[in-house]
Amino acid sequence: MTIKVALTPPDISAYQTGNIGIDYYTTFDSGKPGPHVLVNAVTHGNELCGAIVVDFLYRHDVRPTRGKLSLGFANYMAFLRFNAASPTASRYVDEDFNRLWSVDVLDGPRDSVELRRARAIRPFIDTVDLLLDLHSMQQSSPPLMLCGPLEKGRIFAKGVGVPVHVVADEGHAAGKRMRDYGAFGEPDSAKNALLIECGQHWEEESANVALETTIRFLKHADVIEPDFAEKHLTANTPLRQKFIEVTQAVTVRSSEFSFIEPFKGLEIIPKKGDLIGFDGDTQVSAPYDNCVLIMPSQRLIPGQTAVRLGRLLAD
Ligand SMILES: [Zn+2]
């Protein structure tokens, strides 16, 4: 299969030193009270749209009007290995950086390139009030905001206003995501995090979605010059959002998992009991009517999430 890579990874070498003692993280301080906001790229090394947007913010000298704005490249080790001839290979070096964010794993005895990096940035992440983690997807499907399982995440996603589809979810059996880490996952904390899946990894449109979402995020956090935001937003009025609650993840059990169709995501399985796929000899079917498929995976290996299932929430 030929994979078209329409995006070019930016040269991020100028951002390596940063100013907080952690490679590839920089904090701009307005000197005024306000939240510490982080725009985070390349949690997965092959997801180029985030790197393009963080590079854009640097090149446009975006500074916070209050509080602090940090810009960062999380798994830069994987990103720097990106090769358009084999674009999926640089998702991570040793393991998925976005499955390490539980205290057990971070404090545990295991070691990997990604764990070392997660441990290095953890004290900094502890100071972040509002996180936007920029991601993209394997499949060419509409963008999704993953707002986590808490009401505060849904309210935040609504405040940002894009994209249309917002998914309220718990994450993955394989491990905790940064967006669910620490106070981001505590209902009573004012800290909040969003993870945007901007579209297919290497499609041009994913970078446009990432930029629009980032500017709306910074605008909603009230940390960006309004004129700059207006200048770089598209003229489109955001469409009414749809909220989908993930009810379960289908985790691959056997070595032979297959979907009955090449699903891309957001397909609606009309009837309870309708077939979605096979995990070895076991049928995987819709647990209820109008079951929405969220991010069906092409990495169908035991222990990984094959697809997540959700219901559309009434407004
Ligand atoms: Zn990702």
Mean pLDDT is lowest, of 61-65, 161-165, 172-176, for 172-176
Picking from 188, 217, 240, the residue at the C-terminal end of a domain is 240
Residue 288: pLDDT over 60: yes
**C-alpha separations of 171 from 4, 37, 286 in Å:** 29, 22, 19
Domain that holds residue 249: 244-312
155 with 79, same domain?
yes
Number of domains the chain is built from: 2
Separation of 41 CA from ligand 1 center, angstroms? 9
CA of 96 to the centre of ligand 1 (A): 9
Residues with a beta carbon under 5 angstroms from ion ligand 1: 44, 47, 135
DSSP conformation class of 268: E
Domain end, chosen from 240, 257, 274, is at: 240
- Same domain for 181 and 130: yes
Cα separation, 159 vs 163, in Å, equals 11
Q: Does the pLDDT value for residue 82 go beyond 70?
A: yes
Q: Is the pLDDT of residue 1 over 60?
A: no
Centroid of ligand 1 to alpha carbon of 31 (angstroms): 33
Q: How far is the CA of 104 from the centre of ligand 1 (A)?
A: 22
Same domain, 255 and 206: no
- Using the 3D structure, point to which of 240, 255, 280 is the last residue of a domain: 240
- CATH number for position 299: 2.40.50.100
Question: What span, in angstroms and rounded, lies between the C-alpha atoms of 125 and 122?
Answer: 5
pLDDT of res. 149: 95
Q: Is 272 helix (H, G, I), strand (E, B) or coil?
A: coil
Kindly report the pTM of this predicted structure.
0.94
98-133, pLDDT tens digit by residue? 999 999 999 999 999 999 999 999 999 999 999 999
CATH number at residue 224: 3.40.630.10
Q: Which of 53-57, 167-171, 225-229, 287-291 has the lowest mean pLDDT?
A: 167-171
Judge if 280 and 180 occupy the same domain: no
Write down the mean pLDDT value for the chain.
96
79 and 175 fall within a common domain: yes
When pLDDT is averaged across residues 54-82 and rounded to a whole number, the result is: 98
Helix (H, G, I), strand (E, B) or coil at 36: strand
